[in-house]
Amino acid sequence: MAHFPLTRHLRPILHGGFLIAAAWLLVWAPPSAAAVEPVVEFFAPRDGRYVMGDSIEHTVAVTLPRGYVLESEFLPKPGAISDWLDLRRVDWDKENRGSEVRYRVRVGYRVFKGVRSAEKLAIPPLPLRFRGANLVEAQAPEWNFVLNPIIPPNTPDNQVKVRDGLAAPAIELGPHRMRLAALLAGVVAVLAHLARRYQVLALLFRKRGPFERAHRQLLKLARRSSDPVVYRQAFRVLHRALDETAGQTLLTGHLERFFRSQPSFVELRGELELFFARSQRLFFAVPAAPPPADYPFERLEALCLQCELLEKALRRNGAERQPRTGVYGPLSHQGQGEGSLKAMAFVSPSPQPSPAGRGGRTRAKQ
C-alpha cells in the first residue's frame, strides 16, 4: 500500500483559509479610532476701528461627538498676551445635542497701545484641546482689526488739548427728601412714644436729692479718705445734705424736731446721733487729730447711702418735700450750704446758757 504525506495536500488549503479570514477582517472589522473633525464656529465683532483702552469680545463654538471633554486646564490664563494686548477673562459652557456636544468658549481682550496713526493689528489664534477616544485639537482663527489714534495725526504734543469730561446728570432729589422726611418723622414718633412710656425725660432731667448728690461726692473723696483734710470735708458734705433735708442748719439739739418732721429717718436715729457726736469731737475736741479708728470713712459713706435710699423711697411714694422752715422759723436768717457749715454749732445734751443767749452754740472751726 502506497503512503502519501498529509502536509503536501493540506498546505494549499490552510493557506487559502488564512487569506479568506484576513479579507473578512478587513471588510467587517470596525475602525479602532476614526479621525474626528470638529466643527469650529468663530463669532467676533465687526472691525469698528478701535482705540486704546477698548474691549474686544470673541466667542468660539466647537461641535464634536458625545464623549469628548474640553481640557480647560490648557485654556490661557488672564494676563498679558503681548505688550499691547491683555486677556481679561475666559469662560466656557457645554450643550448636549443628541449624539453631539457643543462647547462655547468666550474670551475678552483689552487693547493698550497708543498709536499716532491708524495701525492694523491681529489677535493671535486661540488653541483648544478636547479629550475623548483620541486627542482633538481646534483653534479660533487669527483676528485682524484696525487701531486708531486718540490724538489726531500730525498733532504736536504741546498742542494736544484734553477734552473736559461730561458733567454728571442731575438727580431729582424731591422724592428722596420726602422719603427721608417721612422716615425721620417715624423715628421721632417712635422715640417720643418710648420716652413717654419709660419716662426717659423724667430720668434725664430729674433733680437729684441732697443725699444722692452727697453720696456721689463721697465716692470721689473715697480715694483719699486717709487724708485728715479729706475726712473732714466728707463730714461737711453729709452735714450739708442733712441741712438741706431739714430746711435749716441742723444741730445736735435739733435732732428730735428733725425726726418729728422727717419720721422716715427715725430708723437711723442711732447712726445720726453717733455721726453728730463724732462730728463735734472731730471739729472741736481734737481739731488736728487724724481720722478716728472707731468711725472709719466707710461707715460715713454707709450712713449717707442709707439716707439716700430713704430719700428715694420717699420720692417713689410721692411724698412731698417738707417746707423749708427751720426750728426757729423761716430760713431767711438761717445759713445754708457751705455757709451753714461755717456757722455750724453743736448743742450738748445738757446745754449751758451762754452770754450770747444762744444755748451753747459755738462756731465750727474750719
DSSP for 196-213, written as a single string:
HHTTHHHHHHPPPPHHHH
CA–CA separation, 41 vs 71, rounded Å? 18
**pLDDT per position in the chain (366 positions), as tens?**
444 454 555 555 555 555 565 555 554 444 444 678 899 999 998 877 788 889 999 999 999 999 999 999 999 999 999 999 999 999 999 999 889 999 999 999 999 888 878 889 999 999 999 998 899 999 899 999 998 888 777 777 676 676 676 777 888 888 888 889 999 999 999 988 887 877 766 656 567 889 999 999 999 998 888 888 888 899 999 999 999 988 888 888 888 999 998 898 999 999 999 999 888 888 876 666 677 778 899 999 999 999 999 988 888 776 444 444 433 333 333 333 333 333 333 333 333 333 333 333 333 333
Smallest CA-to-CA distance from 110 within 94, 98, 121, 97 is with: 121
pLDDT, tens digit (0-9, with 9 covering 90-100), for 308-345: 999 888 887 764 444 444 333 333 333 333 333 333 33
Is the four-CA dihedral 317, 323, 328, 331 of positive or negative sign?
positive
Find out whether 239 and 219 touch, Cβ atoms under 8 Å. Answer: no
Q: Report which of 111, 305, 134, 105 is spatially closest to residue 222, judged by C-alpha positions.
A: 305
H or E stretch including 114?
A: none
Contact predicate 342/364, CB 8 Å: yes
* Helix or strand holding residue 107 (H, E): strand 100-111
Range list of β-strands (E), the chain: 39-43, 55-65, 69-70, 79-80, 85-97, 100-111, 119-123, 126-131, 135-140, 143-147, 325-326, 329-330
Q: What's the CA gap between 143 and 123, in Å, rounded?
A: 5
CA 224 and chain centroid, separation: 41
User: Which pLDDT score is estimated for 102?
Assistant: 95
Instruction: Please give the grid coordinates belonging to residue 264.
Output: 422716715
